Structure 1
């Protein structure tokens, strides 16, 4: 007898964050939202049991997949020829997506337990990406698209909005998965912004400033950014040091970073 963590003979592994999409209507809606076209270079992260892999291959000639579970890899190799499916065995957090060419379209039902690190890893390949469409925990998606001044706005919001135009597309209920997660999921699309809009002179410095600003959310910028800005710096930027990080726009964080970069100040 199978249990609630077993799907099609495969027992979902908690350490890999496995929840397999199984609702055919939701799958169809996701594929329609992605709109894969023949000739495109597409990679699926975490194909699992192939719920999205099969319909993707109905529309494109070849697909790359990144999968860490050897049992699932064996199933995929039995089902698809190397001419149709290139399987990259390993951890998506360590995979060099830059080796797959460009422009690259990336899709997947990302493991919720490592979704934030994967998003930051993928951001490093934005120059080669056409777009990315992912299913994530709804709570994470709300943080990704949050606006300044809202509770969900934070480091993830700023760093991803600096590099991508993002939009939440639709929600996916727990019942669409086997085993069913305890949370609502959402589909989100990320489209890299053109290079001319990426105006931070030092992106590492921008990241350090944003991390500091949200490291202690209840503290004011005067405290969280004291290693980067003095009173004269706040005055030069026209910023109130009594504000908290969640009140600043992405453009204001970029302005702080560029000011610090120009002044030769580093953490």
Structure 2
């Protein structure tokens, strides 16, 4: 991997949450995990100075990069020209329609996500999951642990439930702070997310599930009777097969689905 990596030429900006990856071994492992193909519609979120962009571009021949920092765009475009076809979308990723980028296909999304907005980006990707084949993200290690956590864990929460209802979550490997410029104050990790096939998705109102999960974990120290009083009484929770005295972190993702199905089916 002989591509130019990040240098001191661009000062990382705190407001963009920029930490440029420079460790060649970590970059190689990410590219191997993604295993890009020429037929892929690859989308990279936050290419930065292109350390990951260029090897992905060489492998796939083309790549779409979403970059908000305008000062990085022209250097990226110039350095990518001899390698492959780089399309740069100069927008906030939270405003990007992945379905439109896919143009009838499905995209493969990659990114060293800004840690300060990683959770909103994950939820935005979930909103477009039907247009996404898979996702490989570098995130704060703590966030990856939350994504993969099961019921009863201290790290299990809203993010765990909503991701696991829509995707398989596979933590891949850890990344130390020294792999970045500047080094973040936390450890990082790479994770793979694969959206479930339509036939494997819960047959329930996802909007209702999202509201139930948000309410339950928004007051996670309270019993479900108190946290979900807007949706159901203690008696109704019991009728749906849920212990009203339980707390949100005790419920598996499938239980939230079952509750949403029960609420949708009950007579008005």
Give structure 2 stretches of 5+ with no counterpart.
1-5
The Cα of 1:250 is off from its aligned counterpart by: 0.5
1:123 and 1:196 mapped to 2: Cα distance?
Answer: 17
Contact 2:19–2:181 (Cα < 8 Å) also in 1: yes
Partner of 2:220: 217
2:62 and 2:229 mapped to 1: Cα distance?
Answer: 52
1:127 and 1:39 mapped to 2: Cα distance?
Answer: 18
Q: TM-score, normalised by structure 2?
A: 0.94
**Aligned-residue CA RMSD (Å):** 1.5
Contact 1:112–1:136 (Cα < 8 Å) also in 2: yes
User: Partner of 1:39: helix, strand, or coil?
Assistant: coil
1:99 aligns with 2:100: yes
1:18 aligns with 2:18: yes
The Cα of 1:103 is off from its aligned counterpart by: 1.8
Q: TM-score, normalised by structure 1?
A: 0.94
Contact 2:165–2:202 (Cα < 8 Å) also in 1: no
Which one of 129, 132, 146 corresponds to residue 129 of structure 1? 132
User: Partner of 1:140: helix, strand, or coil?
Assistant: helix
2:267 and 2:211 mapped to 1: Cα distance?
Answer: 15
The Cα of 1:260 is off from its aligned counterpart by: 1.2
The Cα of 1:264 is off from its aligned counterpart by: 6.1
Instruction: Give a deviation string over 1:8-65, Cα, whole Å, max 9, x none.
Output: 3100000000000001111011111111111111000000000001111121110000
1:151 aligns with 2:154: yes
The Cα of 1:156 is off from its aligned counterpart by: 0.4
2:137 and 2:75 mapped to 1: Cα distance?
Answer: 23
Contact 1:141–1:188 (Cα < 8 Å) also in 2: yes
Give structure 1 stretches of 5+ with no counterpart.
1-5
Partner of 2:163: 160
The Cα of 1:119 is off from its aligned counterpart by: 0.3
User: Partner of 2:60: helix, strand, or coil?
Assistant: coil
Distance 1:264 1:196, change over 3 A: farther
1:264 and 1:179 mapped to 2: Cα distance?
Answer: 57
1:23 and 1:235 mapped to 2: Cα distance?
Answer: 53
Partner of 1:232: 235
Name the stretch that deviates more: 16-25 or 195-204.
Answer: 195-204
Instruction: Give a deviation string over 1:201-239, Cα, whole Å, max 9, x none.
Output: 211111000000001111000100111112332222221
2:224 and 2:200 mapped to 1: Cα distance?
Answer: 25
Partner of 2:67: 67
